[in-house]
Amino acid sequence: MSRQDTSDIVFRRILAVFPISILILVAGIFFQLVSSSQLSLHKFGIGFLFSRVWDPVAEQFGALPFIFGTCVTSLVALLLAVPIGVGAAIYLAEYAPPKVSKAISILVDLLAAIPSVIYGLWGIFVLVPCMRNNIQPFLGKYLGFLPFFQGPNYGVGFLAASIILAIIIVPFIISVSREVILAVPSVYKESAYALGTTRWEAIFDIVLSYGRVGILGAVILALGRAIGETMAVTMIIGNNVVISPSLFSPGYTLASVLANEFAEAATNMYLSALIEIGLVLFLVSIIVNILARVLIWSVTKGPGNVVK
């Protein structure tokens, strides 16, 4: 008996190393990012986040243009993706026949499985020419009085990157919102029907308002994806350090400056500034994800249900 007990205890101790190593790994990433960006942290301090100058030759570094680019592209992407994504999720959960719903869900998962470099490739050779020749001239002609749609038309830029981002995050919005909508107890909807509401009224006033916290979670989760998305954005945003109100303007994001410049960083200060950008990205994505998980868990009742 006692021999069995020791073997059990030993096994348990050994196995416990693995989950603990996950915790250590996350802490380790944070620690490594902080310690490797010491140079830049000390020299620029908090001003790093508010300076517009990015000059590797003079070793002056500020992340504001990249933070601006990341915010603009993510928010415009959400603006495009949320209505369509939530709409499609409602259709799949409430309207579509089960077989159609299943088939579309599989196709949406397929969309989510496409590597981002392929979205980028499609973006360069299909979306950008289309932006340059059709969409942007159209927007410039009819909405050109707004500052967002002015300036030279290159095709690449904030708008193109936002559209690609919207396509990339829409599958996440659909699958998580669908999960949330399905988790709403059907009793509520049935009570609404009994009061004489139409189908849409029951969905809009009852189901959506019951599930709004979870859908908000899905949106924030998608925001996290959009913030961290690297390859597709790098390939079509135009890589230009600028803060401009125009969505036609080529820009830069936190993730794409890392993708483009990290391997070429020649000096220690340059490298350290780039790692500090990585640190910003890490912290922002952690905060966004914690928020999203808490919101989604509060609706789907615990962490078991949504793995994505």
Partner 1 sequence: MKALIHTSFERTRLRRAIWDRAMVYILSLCALGILCILFLIIFHLFIKGVTSLNWDFFTHLPKPVGEKGGGMANAIAGTFTLLGLAVCVGVPIGLGAGVYLSEYADLKFAQTVRFIADVMNGIPSIVYGIFAYIVCVLPMKGFSALSGGFALGIMMIPMISRTSEQFVRMVPGQLREAALALGVPKWRVTVDIVVPAALAGITTGIMVALARVAGETAPLLFTAFGNHYWQHSLTQPIAALPLQVFSYAISPFDDWHRQAWAGAIVLILMVLLINGWAQFYVMSRGRWSAGK
Closer CB to partner 1, 206 or 235, in the complex: 235
Query: Which of residues 108, 131, 156, 273 is near partner 1 by CB under 8 A?
Result: 108
Beta carbon nearer to partner 1, 139 or 223:
223
Any contact of residue 275 with partner 1 (CB under 8 A)? Answer: yes
Q: How far is Cα 86 from Cα 199, in angstroms, rounded to an integer?
A: 17
Give least dist CB 156 to partner 1, A. 11
**Distance, CA of 67 to CA of 284 (rounded, Å):** 11
Which residues make beta-bridge pairs with 61?
Answer: 54
Question: At its nearest, how many Å lie between partner 1 and the CB of residue 150?
Answer: 27
Residues 174-193, interacting with partner 1 (CB under 8 A): 174
Per rule CB under 8 A, is residue 136 in the interface with partner 1?
no
Q: Is 250 in the site for partner 1 (CB under 8 A)?
A: no
Backbone φ, ψ for residue 60 (5° rounding): -105, 120
Cα(147)–Cα(273) distance, rounded to whole angstroms? 32
Among the listed residues 45, 51, 43, the one whose alpha carbon sits nearest the alpha carbon of residue 241: 51
| Residue 56 near residue 64, CB atoms below 8 Å | no
Q: Are 257 and 271 in contact (CB under 8 A)?
A: no
Identity at 60, one-letter amino acid code: Q
Using CB under 8 A, pick the residue from 153, 219, 225, 247 that binds partner 1. 225
Closest distance to partner 1 from the beta carbon of 246 (Å): 23
Query: Is residue 273 part of the contact set for partner 1 (CB under 8 A)?
Result: no
Number of residues that bind partner 1 (CB under 8 A): 84
**Which is nearer to partner 1, 2 or 186 (by Cβ)?**
2
